[in-house]
Chains A and B, each alone.
Chain A
């Protein structure tokens, strides 16, 4: 997930097609097939269904981050994006546990059939194990608001 999140982050920062191509080639060269399949699926613009809304995580952000609510709202003023503010305010993971894109996508696929309250708990739990950049794209994925950063064709 980390490499895919970094790829998305870099792709979204540049409008230069030549760079996008280099970034994509680098990613594909060093990524196992099971992750490449998911990466291409997501970058081709395929939408995932919404598992939970960003607002649901937002509501418990003071508790999750330890940051007072007023300061969270101040931060949102600067960022302008709730998913980004959440990812920046939550602490970096304490463990070295890494998840591949394949594992994360499997996790998201399994959420479909899980009862709502358990689903939320599972999402919050895994969110705490992701890096800042991973958190941002993970939230976008589970909220069904992931955008592709490449143009096909």
Chain B
């Protein structure tokens, strides 16, 4: 997500949970834009006009309740559907997912040459049915 942002205009501040993952990614030699870890000393003045990347729960945090004007953007693959737009109390949505999409999943199956596929999480029933129709042995793995 932060790779899509224009860092020549805005500074990017990150919630600790996000920054911990960024550090891991940077250690794996992934190049990421410069980010600033949010802490209790970060002032509203500092953040004004800049971007804060945080998990969804952050919008309900007491910290946000105490600061001035701000707007909330929300990134999720679900935002591809208009039905999902009204569900979040947000100012603007970005359809961006951290999951593999339909085409990506099918490409992975094809590229690996897998003969048997176990599907878990999400629309497993539909994916298994689709793979079976294409003569690939597929099963749902239940999470419970």
Contacts and interface: CB of A to CB of B under 8 A. Distances in A.
A81 B84 CA distance: 12
A13 B92 contact: yes
Interface string A64-79: 0000101100100011
A88 interface: yes
B33 to A, nearest CB: 24
A80 B126 contact: no
A interface SS class: helix
A12 B81 contact: no
B91 interface: yes
Contacts of A70: 129
Interface string B77-99: 00111110100000111000000
Contacts of B80: 88
Of the four ranges (under 10, 10 to 19, 20 to 34, 35 or more), the interface on chain B belongs to 10 to 19
Interface string B91-127: 1110000000000000000000000000000010010
Contacts of A80: 81, 83
A15 B129 CA distance: 39
Given A10-B92, A13-B92, A13-B93, A84 B81 contact: yes
B41 interface: no
Interface string A44-82: 000000000000000000000000101100100011110
Interface in A89-132: none
Contacts of B92: 10, 13-14, 19
A79 B83 contact: yes
A16 interface: yes
Interface string B123-136: 10010011001000
A121 B123 CA distance: 34
Nearest to B83: A80
A88 B91 CA distance: 23
B62 interface: no
A80 B82 CA distance: 9
B130 A14 contact: no
Contacts of B8: none
B82 A84 contact: yes
A71 B123 CA distance: 11
Contact of A81 (B82, B126, B133): B82
A12 B82 contact: yes
B31 interface: no
B71 interface: yes
Interface string B56-84: 00000000000000010000000111110
Nearest to A78: B81
Nearest to B127: A71
A20 B137 CA distance: 50
The 9 closest A-B pairs by CB, nearest first: A79-B81, A80-B83, A13-B93, A16-B91, A13-B85, A74-B126, A14-B92, A14-B91, A84-B82
